[in-house]
Amino acid sequence: MGEGVSERSHMTPQATTTHLRHGSAEVRAKAGARLRSVEGHVRGVQRMVEEGAYCVDIIKQTQAIQRALDKVSALLLEDHLKHCATTAIRAADPTDRERTIQELLEVFETSAKL
């Protein structure tokens, strides 16, 4: 199978017995690095809260964290669309196509609610 494609079922993790990696190694590395950076940022904001920093400063930092997380989501979504979703949409099985379209709709629906 090509990069970004796996044989893993799209069932929930609890119901899945096999798990292969999704997405490209490059994107996983970039996302991991960004998430480690966010983790450090969150710890810094936690210290700010514990130390009684100015509320507006804390809010600005939480907004920066949210923007960083949004960038991770965008990076992962782009990779998913280029690899996993493209493969599923081109699949001969209409069930794969419909499942993929439904997954994407759910992501955007959830995003719109935030």
Give the mean pLDDT of 18-34.
85
Confidence grade of residue 102 (pLDDT, cut at 50, 70, 90)? very high
CA distance 9 to 17: 9
For the chain, how many residues are written? 114
Give which of 95, 80, 97 is closest to 5, Cα–Cα: 80
Q: Is the pLDDT of residue 20 over 60?
A: yes
Phi, psi of 102, rounded to the nearest 5 degrees: -65, -40
| CATH number for the segment(s) 21-113 | 1.20.58.1000
Confidence grade of residue 10 (pLDDT, cut at 50, 70, 90)? very low
Give the mean pLDDT of 78-105.
88
Q: Is the pLDDT of residue 4 over 60?
A: no
Q: Is the pLDDT of residue 15 over 50?
A: no
